Amino acid sequence: MEEGKKYSKELDVAVRVVHLCCSLCRGVQENLLSSSGDQVISKADDSPVTVADWSVQAVVSWVLAQSFGSDNVSIVAEEDVQTLSRPDSVDLLESVVATVNGCLSEASRYGLTSPDKALETSQVLEAISRCNSTGGPKGRHWVLDPVDGTLGFVRGDQYAVALALIEDGNVVVGVLGCPNYPLNKNLLNYHHDNMSRLSPRSSNAWEKGCVLYTTVGSGKAWMQPLVCGDRKLEWPNSAKLIKVSSIDDPALATFCEPVERANTSHTFSAGVANSVGLRKQPLRVHSMVKYAAIARGDAEVFMKFARVGYKEKIWDHAAGVLITQEAGGVVTDAGGRPLDFSRGVYLEGLDRGIVACAGETLHEQIIGAVYASWDSSNL
C-alpha cells in the first residue's frame, strides 16, 4: 500500500495523459482509414510510423515536463525528429503540430493543464526531441511507446498507448491504453489469425476501449473505459479491478502471439503449444494488447520467441509486464528469469524469448517445453 502511495502523483498524471492520447489516436486512425492519401511513413527499418506516433510523443513529453519539470523528466521513447525535420516533410510536420495542439486544447477534460497558447513548431519538435534518454540502472526514466503496434493501427486493428516509469532499473508504474479493445470479453471475436474489427463500430462497448494501470507492489491492477463524447474523465471512480484467469489446464487455455512473423517464430510457438497441450488456435494480436488480454483474464498464455538478431525494446513490454504481474500473472524470459529493464533501451540478456502466463502452473509447463524443444529448433 505504501509503495503504491509513493507513486500516486506519477500514476495520476500517467493515467490522464494516456486517456488524452488515446483520444488523439482515435481521431488520427479514423482520418487514416477514411483517407486515400499516404499518411504512413516507413522508418529506416521499414516499420511504419504515423502522425499519431510523433503527436502522442510530443503530448506526453509536454505534459510530463509541465507536471514534474523538464529538468526532472527523463523519457525513453521510440520516435525521433529526423524524418519530420526533412525539407520534404513540411506537410507532415504541419499535421503533427496541428494534431498536438488540437489534443492539448482538450487537456482540461482529462484533469490536465492546456498551454496558454498553441505550441509553435519549434516547441513541438523540442518536446519530441526531449525523449532521448537511454534509461539505465539508476534514476527515474519514463518509457513510452506512443503507438505500440503501428501496423495494427494503420489497418484499423489493435494497438496501444503504453507509458511506464522505471526507477533504479525496476518498472514501478504501468499504464496501457487500448482504444480498440472492448470492455466486454463477450464481444471478442477469436479468429486464429488476428483480432481485427472485433465488433460493429456502432457498439458502445467497442467505442469505449479501455485503459489498464497499476503500481509496483500494489497487488492490484485496474481497468477503466475510455472517455467518450464530451464527458470528462472520472478517475479513479470509473475503474474496476482486473485479475488474470484461473484456468490452469492447457487444454482450456487461450494463447496469444504477435501477428508479424518478422520478429517471432510462429512455428516454434506452435511446437511448444502442442507439447504442453494447448489445443486452441493461437490468438494473434498486434501490440501490448496481448498483455492486456492476460491481465484481464481473456487469455492465459503469451509467447514470443524472437529470431536471431532481433532485440526486444523496453518500451514494447514495460507497462504490459507490470500490469500483468500485479494482476496475478507471471512474466519471465523463456529461461524463467525476470525481464531486466535496467540495461538501457533493449532487454539485454534475454534468454530466447518472453513467456507470460496467468499463473505458475501454466508458466512452469511452458518453460519446461521451451527447454525440451529448443535444441531441435532453428532459432
Known catalytic residues are 53, 150
Say how far apart CA 93 and CA 99 lie, in whole Å.
10
Cα dihedral 96, 289, 316, 227 sign: positive
Residue 319 contacts residue 162 (beta carbons within 8 Å): yes
Beta strands in 149-285 (DSSP E): 160-167, 170-178, 210-215, 221-225, 240-242, 255-257, 283-284
Say how far apart CA 17 and CA 104 lie, in whole Å.
10
State the pairing for strand pair 330-333/283-284. unpaired
* Nearest Cα to Cα of residue 96 among 33, 153, 46, 50: 50
**Does the annotation flag 78 for ligand binding?**
yes
**Does the annotation flag 145 for ligand binding?**
yes
Residue 345 contacts residue 368 (beta carbons within 8 Å): no
Helix (H) or strand (E) holding 143: strand 140-148
**Does the annotation flag 71 for ligand binding?**
no
Say how far apart CA 288 and CA 25 lie, in whole Å.
16
SS3 label, residue 162: strand
The cell numbers describing 252, all together, are 482450456
> Which residues line the annotated binding site?
78, 145, 148, 316
